[in-house]
Amino acid sequence: DELEYPSGYPSSDTASTNQSELSWSLILDRVDRGLTEVGRAVYNAVESR
């Protein structure tokens, strides 16, 4: 999607580059979600004291 990239990003890029971008964004998204879950657990643990 062209909406995913900042303006000026070459949309007609090589498939391999797009694939690596996709995998990296997926990995970062999962890491971000994991950190969010951990943050919530820690926050709940501290709050419930």
Residues 34, 36: Cα–Cα separation, whole Å: 5
pLDDT tens sequence across 1-49:
455 655 555 555 555 666 777 888 899 999 999 999 999 999 999 998 8
> What one-character-per-residue DSSP string does 1-49 give?
-TTTSPTT--SS--HHHHHHHHHHHHHHHHHHHHHHHHHHHHHHHHHT-
| pTM for the structure as a whole | 0.43
- For residue 14, what are the CA distances in angstroms to 17, 19, 29, 30, 49? 5, 9, 22, 25, 53
Residues 7, 3: Cα–Cα separation, whole Å: 8
